[in-house]
Amino acid sequence: MRAAQNGEPAYTRGLKPRHIKLISLGGVIGVGLFLGSGRAIAKNGPGLLAAYALAGCAIYFIMRALGELIMHRPVSGAFASHANEFVGRWAGYVTGWSYCFVWVTMGMAEITAIALFVRYWYPDVPQWLPALITLGLLYAANRLTVRIFGEFEFWFAIIKIVTILALIAIGIAALVFGFGPLKQQAQLANLWSDGGFFPQGVLGFAITLQLVMFAFQGIEIIGVTSGEAADPRRTLPRAVNSVIWRILFFYIGSLAVIMTLIPWTEFAPDQSPFVEVFARSGIPSATTIVYLVVISSAASSCNSGLFSTGRMLHALAQNGQAPAAFGRLSAKHVPATAITFSASIMLIGVLLNYLVPGRVFIWITSISTIGGIWTWGMIMWTHLRWRQAVADGHVQAVAFRMPGAPYMNWAVLAFLGLVSLFLALDEDTRVALYVLPFWALALWLGYNATRAVPPMSDPIAPANSPS
C-alpha cells in the first residue's frame, strides 16, 4: 500500500489470482441462473440453450475487448475510466453511474431471491424482512479489507461450482448409467419431444435473450478488480480467457442436464429448476441443501455488487463526477462512504418486496438489463476508440488483443441493440423501457452539474506494487 497524494489511505493490491478467477465466476453465477432460469425455461424451453450460446459469444468478445483495455490501464474505475479517456468525459460519467445502477438493481434482485427462498422454511415471514437482514450483513462484510472480501467470495463461488457439478453428476448417473429416481424421465429426447427445440418459436427466443443477458451481468467485475489485483497484467488476461468458457460450461451444461432429466413443460416459471431436480433426486434433505446453496449464491452476487458499486463510485469521485466523500478510503483501505451509499439505495429493493412482492423480481431484472447493455456497449465503443488511438500513435498497443476488431465490435453493438428492442415484446420486461427516459434525464442533469468540477488526485497503487 502507498499513501495517496493527499495523505489518505490508498487501495491495496490484495486480490490474488485465485480470488480474481473465483470472484469473476461467482459474481455472474447467481440468481440469474439459480432462479431466473426457471422463467427462461418456461418462456423458451430447450431453445434457451441456443440463447445462452449466442449471448455467450457476444460476452466473449466484450470480455476480450475489456481485457485489452485493462492491459492498457488496470484501475478500479475500469471501463468507466477507459471511456473517460478515449470517448469523452460524458461517456465516463454515464458509464460509471449506469454500472452502479446495474449492480444496485442486481443487488435488489439478489436479496429478493433470498427472501423468496427463506419463505420455504418460514412462509409466514414477510418477504421484506429477510431481504433487509441480508443487506445489513453484506454491508458489514464489505466494510472489511479487500483480502477478507476476496476470501469470502472465493468460498462462496466454490459452493456454487460444487453444486452445479453435483447436478451434472446426477444427470450423468441417470442418463448414462440409469441410476436414481430421475432415470424414469431422463432422456435426451426431452430436448425436442415437447414442441421441438424451439417450442415457443422466434418470439419466445427473443424474449428469453433479455433473461439470458441478465444472467451474464456481473462478468465484467474482472475490470473493477483490476485496481486491487496483485500483478494484474499477468493474472487478468488468464481470468478473461478462462472465465467465459467456464461460465458457458456451467450455464449450458447445467441447464442441458436439467431439461434432459425433467421435461421443460414441468418447470414452473417462479421456481428454481435446480431445487426441482435435487428434490426429485432422492437424496435425503436435498431440497434444504440446495435452498441453502442458492441463498449463499444470491448473497455472494449481492456482495460482489456492493464491492463493485463502491469502487466505481470511488473512481467517479476521483474524476470529479460524484460527491467528494465517495473518493475517500477508510483506514481499512475500502471506499466505506461509497459502500454505505450503495447499500442505502438497495433498501429500495426491501421497499419493493413490501409493496409488490409478486412482481419485484422480473421488474428489477429487466431494469438492470438496460444498464448492463449500456455498459457492455460502451466497452465495445471504447475499444474502437482505443484501437484508433493506437493506430494514430497516441498510445502503445498491448499484447492481449480482441480478435475480429473492428467488425466484431459492430456486430456485438448490433446484437445489444436488438436485445434492448426485445424488452418491448414482454409486458413484464417492458417496464425497463418506461424507466429509461427518467434515468437518462437524471444522468443528463447530473453530468451538467459536475462538468466544471475538477478531478481529484488518483490514489491507485501501481500495477505491480505489493499488497
SS3 sequence of 304-357: HHHHHHHHHHHHHHHCCCCCHHHHCCCCCCCCHHHHHHHHHHHHHHHHHHHHCC
Per residue in 242-260, pLDDT (tens digit) is: 767 777 788 899 999 999 9
Supply the pLDDT for residue 283: 79
The whole-angstrom separation of Cα 71 and Cα 59 is: 18
Per residue in 12-21, pLDDT (tens digit) is: 666 776 777 6
pLDDT at position 100 over 70: yes
What are the grid coordinates assigned to 286, written together?
Answer: 436435498
What are the grid coordinates assigned to 352, written together?
Answer: 419493493
Supply the pLDDT for residue 29: 74
Q: Shortest CA distance to 138 belongs to which of 102, 184, 182, 107?
A: 107
Question: Where in the chain are the domains?
Answer: 18-450
The whole-angstrom separation of Cα 77 and Cα 66 is: 12
Supply the pLDDT for residue 338: 93
Write phi, then psi, for 15 (nearest 5 degrees): -95, 115
**What count of residues does the chain have?**
467
- The average confidence (pLDDT) of the chain is 83
Of residues 421 and 461, more confidence is placed in 421
Per residue in 145-200, pLDDT (tens digit) is: 777 777 878 888 888 888 888 888 988 888 888 888 888 888 999 999 888 999 98
Cβ contact 254:230 at 8 Å:
no
What's the mean pLDDT in 57-82?
88
Supply the pLDDT for residue 391: 94
The whole-angstrom separation of Cα 377 and Cα 375 is: 5
CATH architecture of 18-450: Up-down Bundle (1.20)
The pLDDT > 70 percentage for the chain reads: 88
What are the grid coordinates assigned to 230, written together?
Answer: 496483485
What are the grid coordinates assigned to 291, written together?
Answer: 435452498
Q: 15 - beta bridge partners? A: 229
205-235 burial: b if 16+ Cβ within 10 Å, else e: bbbbbbbbbbbbbbbbbbbbbbbbbbebbeb
Q: How does residue 462 score in pLDDT terms, banded at 50, 70 and 90?
A: very low
